[in-house]
Amino acid sequence: MFRSGTLTSAASGGQTMTVSGAMAKAAFLLVLALVSAGLTWNAVASNPALGMPLLLVGVIGGLVLSLATAFKREWSPVTAPMYALVEGLFLGVVSLRYGSQFDGIVFQAVVLTVAVAVAMLALYTLGVIRPTERFRAIVFSATLGVALFYLVAMVLQLGFKIEVPLIHSSGMLGIGFSLFVVALAGFNLIIDFGDFEAGEQAGAPRYMEWYCGFALLVTLVWLYIEILRLLSKLRSSD
């Protein structure tokens, strides 16, 4: 990420990013998303008719803002907070729906998400897992494959009313697939942590703190949703 000529180096005289700065931005974005999710949960619980409109705004708005942030990283000081707020709409609606079906599942998913994030941070800090070029290539390829698989599954479901068993089934294959995707999301956290340090070492411009915080939030949201899906499959298989 920090090798391309699109980034301004420290030699340009601008302020550069730091790990502590990126961590602060990530924490701020996470708080924004959580507050937005909490407000959305309460709003939809009081008026269920708001659920679908807010979900659509969250999905479409999140997609647009994530693409804008990815392709225009210098916009991230503005687009990253906007993404966090919009993503909170999505999180609030989805969490409420899962929580309505399975008692206590949201709390369990939050705890497990934090546990996985802390475990991955410990593995990264201790040097057990490092984001080498080969590691990045494997994780990126697997992530792209899962994303394409989800896209095809969505087209099949919306266009032809066909559900893909790996995604929706609560059988062994479905649970195994969810475990794989949760692990993959966890490995993406290793890459995010590595980017924090790489950005500081490369003298990346200060706005990259926002971009790195945004990237970490995206991964955490993905991890949380996948854990929710995994827990729901485990509950359904009982």
Please report, for the chain, the start and end positions of each structural domain, with discontinuous segments joined by +. Answer: 16-236
Of 65, 44, 62, which Cα lies nearest the Cα of 53? Answer: 44
Q: Are 188 and 129 in contact (CB under 8 A)?
A: no
State both tokens at 195: 């980017």
195 Cβ contact list (under 8 Å, min separation 6): 1, 2, 131, 212, 215
Check: CB of residue 190 under 8 Å from CB of residue 126: no
pLDDT of res. 159? 84
State how far the Cα of 19 lies from the Cα of 27, in Å rounded to an integer.
Answer: 12
- Expressed in angstroms, the distance from the first to the final Cα of the chain is 44
**For the chain, which ranges sit under pLDDT 70?**
1-14, 238
pTM of the predicted structure, to 2 decimals: 0.93
| pLDDT, position 8 | 46
pLDDT for the residue 14: 62
| The predicted structure's pLDDT at residue 75 | 98
Cβ neighbour number for residue 52 with a 10 Å cutoff: 11
Q: How far apart are CA 126 and CA 134, in angstroms?
A: 19
Structure tokens at 196: 């924090």
CA gap 73, 92 in Å, rounded: 27
Return the closest-CA partner of residue 124 out of 190, 196, 187.
Answer: 190
Question: What pLDDT shows up at residue 238?
Answer: 60
